[in-house]
Amino acid sequence: MTFNTQASQIVAPLRPEESKGLILIVDDTPHNLQILSTALTKQGYQVRGAASGSMALIGARNISPDLILLDIKMPGMDGYKVCEQLKAGETTQDIPVIFISALDDALDKVKAFTVGGVDYITKPFQLAEILARVENQLTIGRLQKAQRQQNERLQAEVRDRIAAETQIQALNAELEQRVIQRTERLNQEIAEREKVQALLKYMAMHDPLTNLPNRTLFFNTLKEALQAYREHSDQSFALLFLDCDRFKAVNDAFGHLVGDQVLVAIAQRLKNCVGDHLLARLGGDEFTILLKNTPQEQIATEVAHAIQQSLLKPFQIDGNEFFISASIGIVMSQLDYQQPAEMLRDADTAMYRAKALGKARHVMFDTSMHEDVQSSLQLETDLRRAIERQEFILNYQPIVALETGKITGFEALVRWISPELGFISPGKFIPLAEENGLIIPLGEWVLREACRQLRAWQTEQLTDIPLNMSVNLSVKQFSQPNLIETIDQILTETELPAHCLKLEITESAIMENSDSAAKVLEQLRARHIHLSIDDFGTGYSSLSYLHRFPVDTLKVDRSFINRLDAADGNTAIVQAIVTLAQTMGMDVVAEGIETTGQQVQLQKLGCEYGQGYLFCKPVNAELAGEMLASGQHTLG
């Protein structure tokens, strides 16, 4: 066994009062012991070493370390057996164990956690990783100890509170009896008037569809809870904001009458989950829950989890079956909140973060989310101005023939260089442009500039190789009714032959509306424009749509290429994609090629084309033109 680090000089041991914790390292290789001992000692830990499993057991019983770093493969007693005996011992069962091993099989890791390990680090490793994981586990241990102490205090408080509430309930019962007796003595006219007034008040404070408290009642109750929390900080609570995922599709498909019945059924399930806590319907498919006496985030997340589990069972309405999930934002009471709207705003922000992460989940609010929203709004403003000022440029990444290394085309990639902010990552502004519709004018500019550049290279006759230009079409671009007219206009303006343009489209863009997509793709094929499925293998990957649509190229996602050397089936997936494409007369382009080994393996699998840092990073138009003019095929 080897570690990809070098031994450091052993430093003097710390006094116990200076130590950050006592760590026992178990490894039969002295060199490994010395490396880890030196690194951990420098970080302020006390370190003891053991060269075998039996020595480790003796040492653990004698010194009671705060953490054990345990090698698996050792002569005699291996790490699994050592961990089992540690967990069986009364004095050693709570000592956290981090396994360190060159074994990287999933079953090895599962076994490590099965016998009681808390973490697993694969050799070779980085010392920074070791230090981070050690500190993490020691921190968890300290927090757990503090949590146990806090739980004991909280249990005592709960007992006192239960006793007080019991007394209050008794007093309330006595008071209610007196009120009933007095009410019975009132004349019928006053009783009827109060009944009408109560009904009007109830209607003003409750949702007529679900009979749940409405927005007004919820806001009033939340305001009271905030005031009580400011006066008595032990009266903490949690706010849950729930929005049904894709509920609009129910109304669109079956009408609002059925949609209302679904909402009533959802409300009933929510009632069953929240018990006596306040459940309200804000409007539409939005619900809020006020969990009083909730000092811990875990309690709130458990309620959210219970809600989502209850929604897994389908709803049966008028002979139709509906599956409704929910995204939930959670916010805990804080002294910073002055108004109910502020707290509801943050819960709403957390709910939208849950939707952005894939829906059907819950997210706890933190202040960074609010900052992200403000930052996103500012970035949107900057993006709108950038489109007006044309602050964007295109970089071009060569697509090469793997057999010869010759450039066969380029993929146009947009870059934003802001005069004020500098370089803005596409990973930040492209999703934002998609969300607010700015991708339409931006995508049109990219298509026009890419076509103009390729036509300029053709006019300069920099190469005799017939090049094509690949341009990505977003989902929103692809769904635009004037897409074909826009492409025709750009090709006419730039005088680029249509067969030199290749449009890259994701599977989701096609499958969201497959019927209209088929018509658009046929129109593009009629113009001899090439069509490529981008990130193939990560979406639907359905043979049915490949048969239906006129696709020329499958582009294998980089996630499969990056792991070609791993024994997890990626090679078989890439082989299947290549074979499928060849059978259907399509080209295959592998993206994200970074090593010669990946290139060689792709060639063996029959893949013809590729792009990636092995050949060339995306470059500006000037460098790309120089590559073509000089006959140099790559800059990798």
C-alpha to C-alpha distances, 43 to 13, 40, 132, nearest whole angstrom: 11, 5, 11
Among 178-187, 345-354, 512-521, name the most confident range: 345-354
pLDDT band at residue 544 using 50, 70 and 90 as cut-offs: low
CB-CB contact of 81 with 52 (8 Å): no
Look up residue 212 and give its two tokens.
């749940």
pLDDT band at residue 539 using 50, 70 and 90 as cut-offs: low
CB-CB contact of 245 with 355 (8 Å): yes
- Quickly name the fold that domain 16-143 has: Rossmann fold (3.40.50)
> Domain 377-630 is in which class?
alpha beta
Count other C-beta atoms under 10 Å from residue 567's C-beta: 9
Note the helical H segments in 529-620. Answer: 543-548, 558-561, 570-583, 596-604
- In terms of Cα–Cα distance, which of 155, 176, 260, 140 is closest to 211? 260
Query: How far is residue 201 CA from its own chain's centroid?
Result: 44
pLDDT at 1 over 50: no
Residue-wise DSSP of 213-279: B-HHHHHHHHHHHHHHHHH-TT--EEEEEEEETTHHHHHHHH-HHHHHHHHHHHHHHHHHHHTTSEE
Give 144-160 pLDDT, tens digit per residue: 878 878 888 888 888 88
List the 326-332 sheet strands across, edge first.
Answer: 278-283, 286-292, 237-244, 326-332, 362-364
Q: What is the pLDDT of residue 618?
A: 94
Q: Which of 160-174, 329-343, 572-586 has the lowest mean pLDDT?
A: 160-174
pLDDT band at residue 338 using 50, 70 and 90 as cut-offs: confident
CB-CB contact of 476 with 434 (8 Å): yes
Q: What is the pLDDT of residue 2?
A: 37
211 Rama class: left (phi>0) / alpha (psi -120 to 50) / beta: left
pLDDT band at residue 633 using 50, 70 and 90 as cut-offs: low
Count other C-beta atoms under 10 Å from residue 235's C-beta: 17
Give 424-458 pLDDT, tens digit per residue: 888 888 888 888 888 999 999 999 999 999 999 99
pLDDT at 51 over 50: yes
pLDDT band at residue 5 using 50, 70 and 90 as cut-offs: very low
Domains in the chain: boundaries: 16-143, 210-365, 377-630
Asked whether this chain's domains 210-365 and 377-630 adopt the same fold, the reply is: no
CA–CA separation, 600 and 615 (whole Å): 13
DSSP-based three-state secondary structure for 310: helix
Query: Span 210-365: which CATH code?
Result: 3.30.70.270
Specify the residue for token string 């409405």.
214
Mean per-residue pLDDT, 360-386: 80
